[in-house]
Amino acid sequence: MTPLSTRARMGAALATTLLVAGTPAAYVLIGDGDSDERPRTTAHQAYGAAPGRGVAYIETRLLFGTERPDGGPAVSDRQFKDFIDRRVTPAFPDGLTVQDGRGQWRDAHGTIERERSYELILLYPQAAADASDRKVEEIRTAYEKTFGQESVGRVDDRVGVDF
């Protein structure tokens, strides 16, 4: 065996080891299926949390623009806060986060719109995903109608949460 082939084999073995070590681990559900037990992660790679921590949740982020396509006055901070109090808090009373932002997007006419915006972050157990999905869609529709918006952006992700 030549030194070159030994080095090549060692390089391939090292590359394979690094590839396998970098592969994300899946999470496993623990428990006997009782409805009061929540699924827990067993590998920290699944969500980036410490081993054995984190419950399977869905994170939904909604992106609300404030400029009105019809040229009317922008949605004010007060109007947005009232919308959160009336429409979002009753649907998600366990908690939420609102962040101020600046965003841009291409509207239905192809114009790039730049505007003040809000990002709403909701976390809810994966087991409640169907009911929460309906509530989220009602919130999106209500904002679009109330403030004459073309759309409210939505991003969903599976996450591990530990409170």
Cα(75)–Cα(120) distance, integer angstroms: 15
pLDDT digits (tens, 9 = 90+) for 73-125: 999 999 999 999 999 999 999 999 999 999 998 888 898 989 999 999 999 99
Give me the residues paired with residue 118 across strands. Answer: 64, 100
Residue 22: count other Cβ atoms within 10 Å of its Cβ. Answer: 8
Q: Provide the whole-model pTM.
A: 0.69
